[in-house]
Structure 1
Amino acid sequence: MTGRPVGRPRDPALDVAIRQAALALLAEGGLEACALDEVARRAGVGKATIYRRWPSKDDLVRDAFEGPDPELVPTEDAGSLVEDCRRLLLTLGAALRSPRARAWRRTVPALGPDSPLAGSLPIGPVEVWNDAVLEMLDRARRRGEVADDGLHPLVVQSACSTVMARWFTDPDGDEAGERVLVEQLLSVLISPHVPS
């Protein structure tokens, strides 16, 4: 005979609701705002439900930052360097508006060196963006849009950095303003290097 499990099976939907509530609170006010009582209230669960899944708030915060990331770089070739750059910058902007990115902005920069969370939370996808820039430029060279030495990767990376800087300095910036910024960056930094 096999023993029957004791108690109700764990509901994965509750795990998702708790993580989402934690991220929302982190995005609003960082670690101080992410009190477990408030996480439980937002998720519509008892505090004991959280402790059955995560032994501490730090464990919940680490887990909330795990999981599938928003799309960080477009994977399809748009057919031109300007359009590839446009898609990359807009995708980057959308990723920075995600709940996880907003939570990161309020939480990670404020961690002190003695925090148990220091070093265990994501540091950001800079390498992914840099790789995407190199791939875009390589495609543009193969298409004959730019010469081998015609556009340094730092030019495109600086456009990415400007989108990131806007995220740090204007956390309430909207998508419309971001589109204006992207078009300005394309006009000033990218289009002059691409023959019309």
Structure 2
Amino acid sequence: MGRPRDPALDVAILRAALDLLAEGGLEACALDEVARRAGVGKATIYRRWPSKDDLVRDAFEGTDLGLVPTEDVGSLVEDCRRLLLALGAALRSPRARAWRRTVPALGVDSPLAGSLPIGPVEAWNEAVLDMLDRARRRGEVAADGLHPLVVQAACSTVMARWFTNPDGDEAGERVLVEQLLTVLVAPHLRP
């Protein structure tokens, strides 16, 4: 009984937790600091989440990347450009930054090991396959002219840049994407 829970507080708490995870991983995500940033008391957090691990799981699950472009814009190069730039945007998101600081540091005996997201890998791979299928149907590439691994390698290069330079800027990313399109995709296009 009593007053109904304010869903806006849930959002503020989850956002504070994710921001702290992005800044410094699990160590930075102390419940006192989550409460301070969210503007709530610690008891408010404990009424919603019985443990810090539960809060961390929900902070990751409560953020949907939803950034995989699926719209056909009628050009393989443009579809690839949009896909690679969207991947870069997903990697700059608070969730990806939180993942980078949190998941690799987990030990195998951590209660969180295996319960945090590994990322939307399947969705990105499906997007690559769909994009190449559309390009083949349009006649932009031969049926066996562009293997999906070529575009997946471009995606992997964007991800590698994120791992080695997590503070990279969007302008540098655009340059990288244009280079990848020129070297990996354009040579496979039919004249």
TM surpasses 0.5? yes
1:145 counterpart = 2:154: no
Q: Which residue pairs with 1:30 in the alignment?
A: 25
Cα displacement (A) at 1:71: 2.5
Q: Which residue pairs with 1:86 in the alignment?
A: 81
CA RMSD, 1 decimal: 0.9
Q: Which residue pairs with 2:101 in the alignment?
A: 106
8 Å Cα contact 1:71-1:91 kept in structure 2: no
TM-score by length of 1: 0.95
Runs of 4+ residues deviating >3 angstroms: none
1:62 counterpart = 2:88: no
Partner SS, residue 67 of structure 2? coil
Q: Which residue pairs with 1:167 in the alignment?
A: 162
1:120 counterpart = 2:106: no
8 Å Cα contact 1:27-1:104 kept in structure 2: yes
Cα displacement (A) at 1:70: 2.2
8 Å Cα contact 1:72-1:129 kept in structure 2: no
One-letter amino acid of the counterpart of residue 127, structure 1: E
Cα displacement (A) at 1:67: 2.5
**Structure 1 residue ranges without an equivalent (≥5):** 1-5
TM-score by length of 2: 0.97
Partner SS, residue 75 of structure 1? coil
Q: Which residue pairs with 2:67 in the alignment?
A: 72
2:174 to 162, 176, 179: 179
Partner SS, residue 69 of structure 1? coil
Cα displacement (A) at 1:68: 4.5
How far apart, in 2, do the equivalents of 1:68 and 1:80 lie? 30
Number of corresponding residues:
191
One-letter amino acid of the counterpart of residue 146, structure 1: V
How far apart, in 2, do the equivalents of 1:20 and 1:42 lie? 9
Cα displacement (A) at 1:160: 0.4
Q: Which residue pairs with 1:154 in the alignment?
A: 149
Higher alpha-carbon Rg: 1
How far apart, in 2, do the equivalents of 1:71 and 1:159 lie? 20
| Identical amino acids, percent of aligned pairs | 88
